[in-house]
């Protein structure tokens, strides 16, 4: 297999990273993609940093066996806690989702405005977004809010049920009149609740998710390394650590992704 034809590896704690997969597939239709969702151990946001690092290394080793040319960590929690550890053991480039998302938020923010970061408890505790925003040159006020129930709502397929709106209002209603001009969806599951979150925040708040920004960063990395696949229609492979039928059903229901057969890899 030529280097350009080798797949891009993408992984997440569950199905939320499919938002990144979909953005990569739209931007790079000729690329072969391998997606791994750690559905047996989702959510990562309530796990210890040591556990997230260990899980991430196991998945990285599995994807490297697939002869990938680039690894895209489509999980904000893993990106915030394990990115450098993954890079230390990976012979291929490793990209996260936090830096691209932060850069897009800075570009969208108004002078004197305020950025609200929503994420898992682990991501918020790491302050990874605050650091990334500062590194991207943002000097305004940043508030971070943990929204741990969002991930199980998505994994249950309840994005459009009334309970999603109740939970979103409980987490975010107090910020509606706080001068928030940009809200970062700091978890790849959260874009599936984007309409609900936008409804709570109102039209004055721009919602930013990192999926498209992460896809753009993957394209730039492959271009720089002359690794773009010239093919027109790439293959897609999906692997999970548990419940493949549920994963396939929700991928189609929530994102319109037809997975075909989903393989299972248990650790």
Q: What is the pTM of this model?
A: 0.93
- Same domain flag for 19 and 69: yes
Whole-angstrom distance, CA of residue 10 vs CA of residue 21 = 7
Per-residue confidence (pLDDT) for residue 129, from 0 to 100: 97
Per-residue confidence (pLDDT) for residue 205, from 0 to 100: 95
Q: 183, 161, 173: which is closest to 254 by C-alpha?
A: 161
- Same domain flag for 121 and 77: no
- Same domain flag for 22 and 106: no
Per-residue confidence (pLDDT) for residue 113, from 0 to 100: 83
- Same domain flag for 53 and 151: no
Tell me the angle at which helices 211-224 and 18-27 cross, rounded to the nearest 10 degrees.
50
Annotated active-site residue in 72, 82, 83, 187: 187
Annotated active-site residue in 18, 71, 75, 109: 75
Per-residue confidence (pLDDT) for residue 8, from 0 to 100: 98
Per-residue confidence (pLDDT) for residue 232, from 0 to 100: 82
Which stretches in the chain have pLDDT values below 50? Answer: none
How many domains does one find in the chain? Answer: 2
Per-residue confidence (pLDDT) for residue 13, from 0 to 100: 96
Per-residue confidence (pLDDT) for residue 67, from 0 to 100: 97
Per-residue confidence (pLDDT) for residue 230, from 0 to 100: 86
Per-residue confidence (pLDDT) for residue 231, from 0 to 100: 77
Query: Does the annotation mark 159 as catalytic?
Result: no
| DSSP secondary structure of 157-168 | T-TTSHHHHHHH
Tell me the angle at which helices 128-135 and 76-89 cross, rounded to the nearest 10 degrees.
70
Residues 50-101: tens digit of each pLDDT: 999 999 999 999 999 999 999 999 999 999 999 999 999 999 999 999 999 9
Per-residue confidence (pLDDT) for residue 112, from 0 to 100: 80
Please report which helix (H) or strand (E) contains residue 37, including its range.
strand 33-37
Q: Indicate which CATH number applies to the domain containing 194.
A: 3.40.50.1860
- Same domain flag for 239 and 112: no
Domain that residue 157 falls in: 98-210
- Same domain flag for 124 and 256: no
SS3 (DSSP) at 179: coil
């Amino acid at each position: 297999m030529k280097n350009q034809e080798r797949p891009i590896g993408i992984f997440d704690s569950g199905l939320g990273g499919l938002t990144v997969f979909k953005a990569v597939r739209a931007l790079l239709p000729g690329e072969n993609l391998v997606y791994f969702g750690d559905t047996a151990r989702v959510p990562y946001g309530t796990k210890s940093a040591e556990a997230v690092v260990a899980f991430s290394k196991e998945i990285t080793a599995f994807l490297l066996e697939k002869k990938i040319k680039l690894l895209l960590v489509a999980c904000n929690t893993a990106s915030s806690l394990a990115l450098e550890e993954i890079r230390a053991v990976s012979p291929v480039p490793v990209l996260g989702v936090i830096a691209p998302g932060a850069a897009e938020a800075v570009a969208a923010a108004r002078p004197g405005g305020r950025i609200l970061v929503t994420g898992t408890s682990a991501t918020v505790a790491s302050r990874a977004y605050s650091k990334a925003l500062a590194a991207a040159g943002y000097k305004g006020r940043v508030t971070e809010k943990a929204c741990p129930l969002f991930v199980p709502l998505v994994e249950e397929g309840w994005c459009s049920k009334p309970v999603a709106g109740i939970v979103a209002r409980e987490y975010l209603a107090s910020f509606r009149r706080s001068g928030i001009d940009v809200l970062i969806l700091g978890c790849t599951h959260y874009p599936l609740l984007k309409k609900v979150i936008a409804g709570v925040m109102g039209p004055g708040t721009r919602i930013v998710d990192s999926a498209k920004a992460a896809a753009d960063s993957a394209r730039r990395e492959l271009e720089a390394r002359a690794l773009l696949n010239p093919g027109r229609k790439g293959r897609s492979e999906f692997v999970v650590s548990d419940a493949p039928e549920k994963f396939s059903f929700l991928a189609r229901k929530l994102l319109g992704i037809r997975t075909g057969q989903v393989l299972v890899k248990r650790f």
